[in-house]
């Protein structure tokens, strides 16, 4: 047809030869005008079939090129209603490409499609027309078309007069409609006739019916339970007897795709209760597992292994024959030593599935432990990932020390993107299978030293809880953290644990050789200037606890507290002021305030809860029994944080610059035992949002000033002044709002509430209920987690004295970036993985008074939390940087290349990111930070 339609060939050649977008647009517009004129004049001079097909195919090509088509539908209906195959083909092609399933034009073709369906079986030409109609129904879909034509398609599928060619198309058409509209098929109507189709002599019909049946079973397994017997019989026929026509053999394997579908469908059901059927199924599975292959042809091997691995999944799911489990374990042991990377990968993945689902098989898997450990050093990262998962699944109390040691050794060389997961898995294994509490604590300290920034707060929270609840290990823990502090490279997380443990239990080692109260204080304070504000706040509390036990430290501690009474950080300032006042209190009060931390309630930790989630995931599947994809670790920790409750301490107390807050009575180093008060109900809204009108933001001008700042004024008027402070790490943010009452009377009741947002999870440790009059300020903390990509702002409603303010928080996508270290090949791989059409490119000049230089670009990108990649770009004047945009559901690499033309005073920024909503804002932030975009 393409050879005959010379006008179409010429038009396509013209489009391909266009030198620019403008030239192409001009050529397309001219062609559209010409075709539209031809169609409008068709009443005067009727177009022949050749011309209609040519013009409609041109419209199809234009549509594929990305241009909108708003005419030609009537002509397409006329063609698909014709009697010639070539006319119907073009008519259906245009209908599929240009008709909106939800639009009114779909009604124009329903009758024509129904007519073609009803003529199926009359002749071979009618069958071809019916197949075209079925393909159109499947591709267009739409509820109206499904309701009108699904009964006709269903009748074609089950009719004994329908040819196999049409039956196959009908089954796949119903599958497409069912996926869009599950309610259109009822098990009571289709279960029995659909099961009978598995007996079809034509395996193509059986394959199409099985695809439909699998989808139906995934929605309603009980309604189609009768298919199990037929599936076992058909599997026996193919796998054991090899009964299939030569056309259905693939490299000497009888219909491997059909065998895989049958094995997968059977995983939706338990083992058959009928003993004869169960014995036959065991026999079939045993034959598949015992098949010895000597044929080295790659396609043959792939077909055999596809069936074999699916059979293993079914064996693991049914668990009805121990000898089959042993066979699986032995086969997988061979696969993990294979020289073929894909085979090793599948072997490790299936072995992890077996270990998670069947604990009795772990002993069999353990025979290959050394091979699995060696896979951690494989050249392929996917192999290393699967080996890590398998070691995690097969670990128990008998081999925990060996596996944890191996994983800790691997941590030093593991890829950046898997370190978070690896660190958490090590922590889970260390806690779950610790032979002794001291070994667990040693492992956590080693993990902190090796994992550093990848160690989440939940891990050291749990270590603190274990130490607190085990009196026998408290002296040992104090000595270990003391030794850890002596290292000049001690990480901040280690300093946090040391501050807590020495503050609570430092007295156990006060008289130990090489230790003294003064040395403990000096070691802790030597790290003070190198840690963040949260850790500094914790250390101030530790100092105050130490001075309560060792009065000789009082002068040094008071000097530190005095120095920080005017600190910029509100939490540090409040602690310093309150602890200075407490230092002059009477001894009985001090003993109550600074008493040793009481034991935590016995609750499961976040890491153990996560371990159980992984075990449960191993017993589920893509239907009911396959191993589910692992949940994002940050998401799981966020979910289990609430469940862990008092079992894990808060990172820092919800302190704010409030003048009247009393000191904590529990004496907890981290205010761990204080119960948060229930938030007061918000006053009745009377402002702009309460009337049902569109929400009006009160602080757009203030938010713009906080684009690149994390501290500043969020809102101010005659009644109230709202300060803002934001702290960000990965997908988490801690937002503190400071409210200053400028009126002459107290604001009570008072409430600051984050409005519901689909992409943010927000919690408030302690809600404000009033703001006193005067110059004092009260603070409220919002703990924010990004759950997904967002474009709308998070808004806080502030209600007081019958007034309402709606304040937008300056939480932009560019705030949730983490440096992404990549080498040259890694950066290039990430760059090429993002579609070229997602690339943004802008030309800029430096900010006024600044020169174009790589150093200025690097400084700007570092301020936005990008990691500068050295040696990636061959030009030393260009700057390449990468960051990871973080949320619970989505993580996207953000890649930047800046070409510096110092002699011309210009930058060219090239930017790639796979998430469009993230890309727009982050690219804009990068551009504004670096310079001024050229018009």
Distance CA 645, CA 251 (A): 58
Q: 7 labelled as ligand-binding?
A: yes
Residue 934, burial from CB neighbour count under 10 angstroms (0-12, 13-18, 19+):
exposed
Answer whether 771's CB lies under 8 Å from 750's CB. yes
Q: 407 labelled as ligand-binding?
A: no
**Exposure letters 421-436 (e unless 16+ CB within 10 A, then b):** bbbbbbbbbbbbbbee
Report residue 52 as tokens. 């209609």
Distance CA 852, CA 844 (A): 10
591-596: long-range contacts at Cβ-Cβ below 8 A with a sequence spacing of 24 or more?
591/548, 592/665, 592/667, 593/663, 593/664, 593/665, 593/667, 594/544, 594/545, 594/548, 594/667, 595/666, 595/667, 596/504, 596/505, 596/667
Report residue 168 as tokens. 């196959």
The count of other CB atoms within 10 Å of the CB of residue 451 is 25
Distance CA 160, CA 151 (A): 16
Distance CA 700, CA 712 (A): 14
Distance CA 142, CA 128 (A): 23
CA angle 767, 770, 772 (to 5 degrees): 135
Distance CA 308, CA 346 (A): 11
Distance CA 394, CA 132 (A): 53
Q: 54 labelled as ligand-binding?
A: yes
Answer whether 445's CB lies under 8 Å from 481's CB. yes
Q: Are strands 931-933 and 839-846 parallel, antiparallel or unpaired?
A: antiparallel
Distance CA 391, CA 755 (A): 44
Q: 50 labelled as ligand-binding?
A: yes
Q: What's the half-sphere exposure (Cβ side, CA atoms, 13 Å) at 556?
A: 18
Answer whether 896's CB lies under 8 Å from 861's CB. yes
Strand partners, 250: 253
Closest among 778, 548, 820 to 680, alpha carbons compared:
778
Q: 891 labelled as ligand-binding?
A: no
Q: 6 labelled as ligand-binding?
A: yes
From residue 82, give the alpha-carbon distance in Å to each of 43, 55, 91, 95: 18, 16, 9, 14
Sheet architecture: strand order including 803-808: 750-754, 795-800, 803-808
From residue 347, give the alpha-carbon distance in Å to each of 166, 312, 344, 368, 387: 40, 11, 5, 12, 10
Q: 905 labelled as ligand-binding?
A: no
* Helix-then-strand count for the chain, H and E: 37, 17
Residue spans of alpha helices (H) in 696-848: 700-704, 824-833
Give the chain's radius of gyration (CA, Å): 35
409-416: long-range contacts at Cβ-Cβ below 8 A with a sequence spacing of 24 or more?
410/376, 410/377, 411/447, 411/450, 411/451, 412/450, 414/384, 415/381, 415/384, 416/820, 416/821, 416/822
Strand partners, 897: 880, 910
Tokens 């689902």 identify what position? 357
Give the DSSP H/E element, type plus range, for residue 933. Answer: strand 931-933
Tokens 């098989």 identify what position? 361
List of residues 6+ apart from 720 with CB closer than 8 A: 739, 740, 741, 742, 743, 747, 771, 798, 800, 805
Q: 907 labelled as ligand-binding?
A: no
Q: 55 labelled as ligand-binding?
A: yes
Distance CA 277, CA 262 (A): 15
Task: State the virtual CA torsion across 185, 189, 191, 195 in degrees, nearest 10.
Answer: -110
Binding-site annotation, residues: 6-7, 38, 50, 54-58
């Amino acid at each position: 047809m393409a050879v005959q339609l010379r006008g179409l060939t010429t038009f396509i050649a013209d489009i391909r030869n266009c030198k620019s977008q403008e030239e192409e647009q001009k050529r397309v517009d001219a062609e559209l005008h010409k075709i539209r004129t031809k169609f409008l004049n068709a009443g005067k001079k009727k177009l022949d079939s050749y011309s209609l097909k040519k013009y409609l195919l041109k419209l199809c090509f234009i549509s594929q090129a990305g241009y909108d088509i708003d005419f030609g539908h009537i002509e397409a209906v006329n063609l698909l209603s014709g009697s010639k195959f070539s006319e119907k083909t073009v008519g259906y092609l245009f209908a599929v490409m240009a008709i909106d399933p939800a639009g009114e034009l779909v009604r124009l073709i329903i009758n024509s499609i129904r007519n073609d369906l009803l003529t199926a079986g009359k002749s071979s030409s009618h069958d071809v027309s019916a197949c075209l109609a079925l393909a159109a129904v499947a591709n267009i879909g739409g509820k109206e078309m499904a309701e009108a034509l699904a009964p006709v398609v269903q009748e074609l599928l089950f009719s004994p007069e329908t040819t196999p060619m049409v039956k196959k198309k009908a089954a796949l058409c119903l599958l497409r409609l069912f996926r869009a509209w599950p309610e259109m098929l009822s098990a009571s109507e289709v279960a029995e006739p659909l099961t009978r189709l598995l007996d079809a002599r034509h395996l193509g019909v059986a394959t199409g019916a099985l695809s439909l049946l699998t989808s139906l079973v995934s929605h309603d397994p009980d309604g189609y339970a009768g298919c199990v017997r037929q599936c076992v019989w058909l599997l026996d026929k193919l796998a054991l007897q090899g009964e299939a026509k030569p056309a259905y053999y693939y490299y000497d394997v009888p219909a491997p795709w059909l065998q895989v579908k049958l094995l997968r469908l059977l995983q939706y059901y338990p083992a058959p209760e009928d003993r004869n059927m169960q014995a036959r199924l065991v026999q079939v599975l045993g034959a598949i597992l015992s098949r010895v292959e000597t044929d080295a042809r790659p396609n043959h091997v792939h077909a055999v292994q596809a069936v074999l691995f699916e059979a293993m999944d079914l064996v693991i799911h049914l668990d009805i024959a121990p000898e089959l489990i042993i066979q699986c374990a032995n086969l997988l042991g061979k696969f993990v030593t294979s020289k073929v990377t894909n085979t090793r990968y599948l072997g490790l993945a299936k072995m992890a599935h077996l270990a998670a689902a069947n604990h009795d098989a772990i002993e069999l898997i353990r025979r290959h432990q050394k091979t699995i450990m060696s896979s951690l050093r494989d050249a392929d990262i996917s192999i290393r990932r699967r080996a890590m998962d398998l070691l995690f699944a097969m670990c128990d109390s008998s081999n925990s020390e060996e596996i944890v040691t191996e994983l800790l050794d691997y941590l030093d060389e593991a890829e950046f993107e898997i370190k978070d997961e690896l660190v958490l898995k090590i922590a889970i294994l260390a806690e779950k299978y610790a032979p002794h509490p001291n070994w667990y604590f040693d492992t956590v300290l080693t993990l902190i030293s090796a994992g550093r920034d990848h160690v989440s707060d939940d891990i050291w929270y749990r270590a603190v809880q274990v130490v607190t609840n085990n009196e026998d290990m408290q002296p040992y823990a104090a000595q270990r953290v003391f030794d850890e502090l002596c290292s000049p490279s001690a990480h901040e997380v280690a300093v946090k644990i040391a501050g807590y443990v020495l503050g609570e239990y430092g007295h156990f080692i006060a008289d130990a050789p090489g230790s003294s109260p003064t040395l403990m204080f000096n070691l802790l304070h030597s790290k003070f200037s190198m840690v963040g504000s949260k850790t500094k706040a914790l250390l101030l509390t530790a100092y105050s606890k130490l001075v309560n036990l060792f009065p000789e430290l009082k002068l040094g501690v008071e000097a530190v507290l005095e120095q920080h009474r005017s600190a910029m950080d509100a939490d540090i300032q409040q602690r310093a002021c309150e602890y200075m006042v407490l230092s002059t209190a009477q001894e009985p009060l001090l003993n109550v305030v600074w008493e040793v931390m009481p034991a935590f309630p016995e609750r499961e930790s976040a890491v153990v809860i996560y371990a159980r989630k992984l075990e449960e995931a191993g017993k589920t599947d893509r239907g009911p029994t396959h191993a589910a994809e692992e949940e994002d670790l940050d998401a799981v920790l966020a979910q289990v944080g609430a469940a862990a409750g008092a079992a894990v301490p808060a990172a820092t107390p919800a302190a704010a610059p409030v003048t009247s807050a009393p000191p904590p009575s529990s004496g907890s180093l981290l205010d761990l035992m204080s119960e948060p008060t229930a938030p007061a109900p918000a006053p009745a809204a009377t402002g702009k949002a309460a009337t049902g009108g569109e929400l009006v933001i009160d602080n757009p001008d203030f938010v713009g000033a906080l684009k690149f700042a994390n501290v500043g004024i969020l809102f101010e008027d005659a009644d109230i002044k709202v300060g803002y402070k934001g702290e960000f790490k990965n997908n988490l943010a801690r937002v503190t709002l400071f409210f200053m009452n400028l009126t002459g009377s107290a604001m009570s009741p008072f409430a600051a509430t984050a409005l519901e947002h689909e992409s943010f999870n927000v919690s408030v440790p302690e809600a404000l209920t009033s703001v006193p009059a005067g110059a004092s300020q009260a603070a409220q903390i919002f703990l924010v987690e990004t759950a997904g990509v967002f474009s709308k702002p998070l808004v806080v409603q502030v209600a007081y004295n019958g007034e309402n303010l709606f304040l937008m928080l300056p939480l932009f996508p560019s705030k949730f970036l983490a440096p992404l270290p990549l080498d040259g090949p890694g950066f290039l791989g990430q760059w090429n993985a993002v579609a070229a059409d997602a690339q943004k490119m802008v030309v800029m000049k430096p900010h006024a008074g600044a020169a174009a230089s790589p150093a200025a670009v690097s400084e700007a990108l570092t301020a936005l939390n990008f990691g500068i990649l050295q040696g990636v770009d061959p030009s030393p004047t260009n700057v390449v940087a990468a960051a990871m945009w973080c949320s619970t559901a989505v993580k996207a690499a953000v890649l930047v290349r800046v070409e510096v033309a110092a002699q011309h005073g210009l930058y060219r920024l090239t930017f790639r990111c796979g998430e469009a909503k993230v890309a727009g804002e982050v690219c804009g932030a990068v551009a504004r930070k670096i310079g001024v975009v050229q018009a």
